[in-house]
Amino acid sequence: MAGRLKGKVALVTAAGQGIGRAIAEAFAAEGATVIATDIDPKKLKGLRRAEKLKLDVRSDEAVTALGRDIVRRLGPVEVLANCAGFVHHGTVLDCADEEWDFAFDLNVRSMHRTIKTFLPGMLKQKKGSIINIASIASSVSGLPNRYVYGATKAAVIGLTKSVAADFIKQGVRANAICPGTVQSPSLDERIAALAKQTGQSLKAVRQAFIDRQPMGRLGTAEEIAAFAVYLASDEAAFTTGQFHLVDGGFAM
């Protein structure tokens, strides 16, 4: 089935690498007009069939300005994929107030900003799909050393359900994807940091991440993107307000 997103304007945040990039590529391959954004535009290099724009999702002004520009040039956004996020490692005892504030601003409030900006256009055309990247580390499962990260991703699930409930009769759907451990540049950075912190080898730390996945392997960004395509498409017209586990059986 090709062209599943043909005619849809889709905006993807944090599209420079990992899950966000895979989603932008998958949306474009299915015929969407894709606006791929990232705070570091250099990371968007090489992304084909997408308009590449710098966006700081922590800035109210930047998100609002981008929204005005896109609507003026392309019309309302029909698909919004919120992929920006940061994984903080540690317990409550390791979380400073500044880290708490940063995590909630990037992982949760950024979604509030983009939804508030692009939702009016969806309501005007009476159709839209909002896809928020949450995590199994959330209200789904509690994981060690994911204190503030789990709190933010639980908030993402609550935010998603609230938007879905408020606009269910107006043609707008909102869903969350909860990945398990996925191979990405972000994971590589966390593995390197944890190896340095604990004195373990990179191989040992990586193996620990693999071992906690029941399938015995890490997920791929493309596997998450494939599910995002489904949620963005008209095939998912009867699906809203849910968190979807794409986790290799982690939360069984």
φ, ψ of residue 176 to 5 degrees: the values are: -120, 145
Alpha-helix residue ranges (DSSP H) falling in the chain = 18-29, 60-74, 97-104, 110-125, 147-166, 185-198, 202-211, 221-232
Residues marked active site are found at: 149
Are the beta carbons of 25 and 229 closer than 8 angstroms?
A: no
Residue 107 DSSP code: I
d(CA 107, CA 228): 18
Cβ 209 vs Cβ 144: under 8 Å: no
Find out whether 110 and 154 touch, Cβ atoms under 8 Å.
no
